[in-house]
A and B are shown apart, each in its own frame.
Chain A
Amino acid sequence: MDRRAVFNGWLLPVLLLLPQLAVTVVFFFWPAGQAIVQSVQGGDAFGLATRFVGWDNFATLFADPNYIFSFGVTAVFSVAVALLALVPGLLFAVMADRVVRGATFYRTVLLLPYAIAPAVAGVLWMFLFNPSIGIVAFALRHAGVDWNYFLNGRQAMLLVILAAAWRQISYNFLFFLAGLQAIPSALLEASAIDGATPRRRFWTIVFPLLAPTSFFLVVVNMVYAFFDTFGVIHNVTQGGPNRATEILVYKVWYDGIVGLDLGGSAAQSVVLMGIVIALTAVQFRFIERRVHYA
């Protein structure tokens, strides 16, 4: 990050940095520090005093079967959302890369769901699948499916996965398309001349060259499923039925704001921070590789 020609002085750059540093300290370092402090504190029964309790909050947390269960729910949810958003995204990108006529139209329409808030996507899908009035729920019942996601945990999970993945397809589509368009056409032409079928060209040339983009997108989609889907869960299932869709971010919010368990919620925040830092570290590794290979 160095350049030769720079300006001198220290007062001006400090003044220029000050607004951002101030906002960062007040709304970032201070709360993150508080989360860590609160995670090792406990309140008395009346909520009047706090004292140092060491690892107690974490020990309680990991001894809580509901928390462990929430980890499992989050794992299933995020892997399913990532897969269900990545595979169609890739398929549509490959197809959009092949067409000439209407290419702009397809691209524009397939990009649109990205502009839709996850919370709104949740409401749209909830309306389709509402057991009493939803049009898809009606069709499912006619097909003999006993559809009621208010009671059936698996169905609730399926619904939040669909709603969360639906809007993320756009994002993956865009990045896969950019990745495809960066592949030199000489490579594909050469193999076509050698008689490789489109299918073979895809698996032996296109897919390996897209691998770095795919790794990067896997991480981004996991982060999305972990943190940005609170609105979907809160709107569609409220973590239910019977905690079947209670992902970690929903639990932090619920235990802290509704349950008023500050220590427990702070400990959960600290665990989540660890997860984001790990995911970000993985992401940077892959980005470096992407730069290296691409």
Chain B
Amino acid sequence: MVTARQSAWIPHAILIAGIAIVAFPIYVALVASTQHLDAILEAPMPLLPSDQIIRNFHDAITAGTAKTSGVSVGRMMFNSLVMALIIAAGKIAISLPSAYAVVFFRFPLRKLCFWAIFVTLMLPVEVRIIPTYQIATDMGLIDRYAGLSLPLVASATATLLFRQFFLTIPDELVEAAKIDGAGPLRFFVDTVIPLSRTNIAALFVILFIFGWNQYLWPLLVTNTPSMTTIIIGMRQMIGNGDTQTEWQIVMATALLAILPPVAVVLLMQRWFVKGLVDTEK
């Protein structure tokens, strides 16, 4: 029989194994980003860091590689940041008023409007990719921040989440506002939005990560190298044989692509967990 003292180690051992699985690919990338290319190409690559970390990250951030057409990773990160911020802020900005309208008003076709928004849950951009691309082309959105972000703003998750929350706001608050002579807009700005602060924060964290990590859509909608996002740029650095892939820069770029969303999860973990659990309900 296993004593309580011995068996207490088992969960720790399994969790440490789990952390090793999580950390190993990231650790190898980190080590690779500190090496000379020669050391990586001479398989097996060393498993301990070398001294090129500053040079590699500096090269990546200021210059990129030959395959990125002179566009630096710094520029790509800026593009990703703008895209992620527009997607997150845009979704919240259009969802708050629409959820408010659906919950706090009675007007003709209200249910139809709600369902029209609700069904967008069902079709991710991946399944309507070609026609959406054609529309973006027709509207002149190729190689623009609006093109990168607007089509991804159309989604119902945020609206549903806010609707869910608004339904829990007590009727007494609405009645009190009416007695005080506050109109619907005033009630929205002074009461509903302040009450939604934690929901807005949680949603922002999730939507920022969602936006930053986009792949298929940015791949389609940008052609000009200077509009590339970091996730796409990292891919362009990996060649198909003609020239040597500069793996030390690729790995530095991969780490830079991971850094902002990971920082967001670490610093705002409470909101991240809340956002993740809420949006899936």
Residues of A within 8 A of B (CB): 1, 3-10, 12-14, 16-17, 19-21, 23-24, 26-35, 38, 88, 91-92, 95-96, 98-99, 102, 106, 108-121, 123-128, 132-135, 137-139, 166, 169-171, 174-175, 178, 198, 216, 220, 227-228, 230-231, 234-235, 249, 252-253, 256-257, 262, 265-266, 269, 272-273, 276-277, 280, 287
Contact = CB atoms under 8 A, between A and B. Distances in A.
A116 B235 contact: no
Given A118-B215, A133-B45, A252-B127, A28 B120 contact: yes
Contact of B116 (A21, A38, A135, A253): A21
Interface in B67-124: 93-95, 97-98, 100-108, 110, 113-114, 116-117, 120-124
A230 B216 contact: yes
B277 to A, nearest CB: 6
A31 B145 CA distance: 20
B236 to A, nearest CB: 11
A3 B213 contact: no
Q: What 10 pairs between A and B have smallest CB-CB spacing?
A: A117-B213, A34-B131, A31-B131, A231-B215, A13-B101, A5-B174, A115-B261, A16-B97, A13-B105, A95-B11
B47 interface: yes
A32 B123 contact: yes
A265 B18 contact: no
B188 to A, nearest CB: 8
A20 B276 contact: no
A106 B128 contact: no
30 contacts: A5-B175, A6-B174, A7-B104, A7-B174, A10-B108, A12-B185, A14-B107, A16-B101, A19-B97, A21-B113, A88-B18, A108-B266, A109-B22, A115-B261, A117-B231, A123-B250, A123-B254, A127-B247, A127-B250, A128-B25, A133-B247, A135-B43, A138-B44, A166-B25, A228-B126, A230-B216, A249-B127, A265-B130, A273-B122, A276-B123
B273 interface: yes
A180 to B, nearest CB: 12
Given A6-B104, A135-B45, A23 B153 contact: yes
Contact of B128 (A32, A116, A126, A198): A32
B132 A27 contact: yes
A273 B258 contact: no
Nearest to B276: A174
B178 interface: yes
Contacts of A115: 209, 258, 261-262, 264-265
Contacts of B195: none
Contacts of B215: 117-119, 230-231, 234
Q: Which of B128, B133, B213 has the most CB of A within 10 A?
A: B128
B150 interface: yes
B17 to A, nearest CB: 9
Contacts of B219: 234
Contacts of B235: 119, 123, 234-235
B135 A227 contact: no
B128 A31 contact: yes
| Secondary structure of the A contact surface, majority rule | helix
Contacts of B251: 127
B193 interface: no
A112 B21 contact: no
Contacts of B225: none
A109 to B, nearest CB: 5
A21 B26 contact: no
Contacts of A88: 18, 21
Given A13-B107, A273-B127, A276-B124, A23 B94 contact: yes
B231 A21 contact: no
Nearest to B120: A28
Contacts of B130: 35, 38, 252, 256-257, 262, 265-266, 269
Contacts of B250: 123, 127
B95 to A, nearest CB: 7
Contact of A276 (B106, B127, B132, B135): B127
A277 B119 CA distance: 9
B48 interface: no
